[in-house]
Amino acid sequence: MTRIEFWQGNTACAEGALAAGCNFFGGYPITPSTEVAEIMAAKMPKKGGVFIQMEDEIAGIASIIGASWTGARSMTATSGPGFSLMMENIGYAAMTETPCMIVNVQRGGPSTGQPTMGAQGDMMQVRFGSQGDYAIIALCPANVQEMYELTARAFNLADQYRVPVFLMADEIVGHMREKIIIPDSMPQIPRRPLVKGTLPFKAGADLVPGFPQFGKGYGVHVTGLTHDERGYPAATNPQLHEALVRRLVDKIENARHAIADFDIINPDAEQVFIAYGAPVRTVQQVMHDHPDKNIGFLRLRTVWPFPEFALREFKNVKRFLMPELNLGQMAREVERHVRVPVVSIQKLGGELTTPTELVAALEAPL
């Protein structure tokens, strides 16, 4: 039996993680993500899992990387400066192919900025914030239901692709309370173990090596240095480095059709909104209030890897309109895939884009 709740987005995130079998939370509380840690602290021990408050966010992500190697479904939650502190170890997780789940309830930046206000200013940081070339997966919820469901899916993606997966929420969705229908259970896709006798970083056709979990009898060396298929440092071998980094990127980019999660509405429209996170709600309101305007909508839940093939579904599009709570970060990504104009509808300050602002953009001359 499903059940109904009236939950805050951050509550739904914590509960979605527990439903997904998350059994390790390490982190450092920070507004506006703190409720996630609070709920995990209260509930995780009762479920036989571990909650640990670390000394800072650097240690928080380090702890979830370590926990993941022992087989845990591990998670942290942060915002703003805490996310910046995590950057080095996010690269380490990408390089060591460590499945882990990181929640960023975005607030206004840069720096300590606006702790209690919403933003989407970390969309490029999540993709490129750590040094070197790598790839990650980022999901964006637009309502409390998705805070639950995308959190649960993030754990599956992390295990499936051995990669850090990010729930890129925002203060608006994290703190609003609304109706949510709790599913009976969330599907759990387990991590594929390394076949004994195979080299620990040797991948097959899907480019994802099996996982040699600590304590299961594998001999494995884990390092952030460029490593060979045995896991041993080989940092001066140019061909090996290139092959490794290309595999880390390709294992995600090649799978972008399978990872993608989006809705296409009115594909024949000439004016098409693209949105993710809280601004989705404003687009939905405008479409509801103006059925006469024949508005198209690409509603993204997966933002990275960017599903550029979805843009081609809008055959008659004359322009894309992209409301974001930043200065057009994802609009730049869209621009490099299309030939028509991309209108970036930018909002800073912490409040949500209003329907009036979107209608004004729609009515501006083409």
Partner 1 sequence: MRHEVRFSGFGGQGIILSAVILGRAAVMYDNKFAVQTQVYGPEARGGASMSQVIIDDEQILYPKVANPGIFVIMSQEGFEKYGAGAPKDAVMLVDATLVHSRPQCKYLEIPGTREAKQTLGKDIVANIVMLGALVASTHVVSEAALEKAILDSVPKGTETLNIKAMKLGIELGKGAQAHEVT
Residue from 73, 153, 162, 175 in contact with partner 1 (CB under 8 A): 175
Q: Which residues of 165-175 are buried (b: 16+ CB within 10 A; e: fewer)?
A: bbbbbbbbbbb
Closer Cβ to partner 1, 91 or 141, answer by number: 141
Residue 130 binds partner 1 (CB under 8 A)? no
Residue from 153, 281, 299, 347 in contact with partner 1 (CB under 8 A): 281
Of 37-45, 126-134, 190-198, 284-292, which segment contacts partner 1 by CB under 8 A?
Answer: 284-292
Residue from 354, 357, 359, 362 in contact with partner 1 (CB under 8 A): 354
Residue from 84, 113, 124, 178 in contact with partner 1 (CB under 8 A): 178
- 25-54 positions binding partner 1, by CB under 8 A: 32
Closer Cβ to partner 1, 174 or 305, answer by number: 174
- 287-346 positions binding partner 1, by CB under 8 A: 288
Of 235-243, 276-284, 303-311, 331-339, which segment contacts partner 1 by CB under 8 A?
Answer: 276-284
CB atoms within 10 A of CB 54: 16
Of 150-158, 283-291, 302-310, 336-344, which segment contacts partner 1 by CB under 8 A?
Answer: 283-291
Taken in order 39, 40, 45, 51, is the CA torsion positive or negative?
A: negative
CB of 117 to partner 1, least distance (A): 8
Residue 285 binds partner 1 (CB under 8 A)? yes
Residue 282 binds partner 1 (CB under 8 A)? yes
Of 45-53, 208-216, 282-290, 331-339, which segment contacts partner 1 by CB under 8 A?
Answer: 282-290
Total interface residues for partner 1 by CB under 8 A:
22
Closer Cβ to partner 1, 167 or 176, answer by number: 176
Closer Cβ to partner 1, 76 or 282, answer by number: 282
CB of 274 to partner 1, least distance (A): 17
Residue 351 binds partner 1 (CB under 8 A)? yes
> SS3 string of 14-62?
HHHHHHCCCCEEEECCCCCCHHHHHHHHHHCHHHCCEEEECCCHHHHHH
Residue 4 binds partner 1 (CB under 8 A)? yes
Residue from 186, 259, 352, 361 in contact with partner 1 (CB under 8 A): 352
- 216-275 positions binding partner 1, by CB under 8 A: none
> SS3 string of the chain?
CCEEEEEEHHHHHHHHHHHCCCCEEEECCCCCCHHHHHHHHHHCHHHCCEEEECCCHHHHHHHHHHHHHCCCCEEEEECHHHHHHCHHHHHHHHHHCCCEEEEEEEEECCCCCEEEEECCCCHHHHHHCCCCCCCCEEECCCCHHHHHHHHHHHHHHHHHHCCEEEEEEEHHHHHCEEEEEECCCCCCCCCCECCCCCCCCCCCCCCCCCECCCCCCCCCCCCCCCECCCCCECCCCHHHHHHHHHHHHHHHHCCHHHHCCEEEECCCCCEEEEECCCHHHHHHHHHHHCHHHCEEEEEECEEECCCHHHHHHCCCCCEEEEEECCCCHHHHHHHCCCCCCEEEEECCCCCCCCHHHHHHHHHCCC
Tokens 């929640």 label which residue? Answer: 103
Closer Cβ to partner 1, 13 or 20, answer by number: 13
Residue 176 binds partner 1 (CB under 8 A)? yes
Closer Cβ to partner 1, 237 or 356, answer by number: 356
CB of 161 to partner 1, least distance (A): 32
Residues that bind partner 1 (CB under 8 A): 4-6, 32, 116, 171-172, 175-179, 278, 281-282, 284-285, 288, 351-352, 354-355
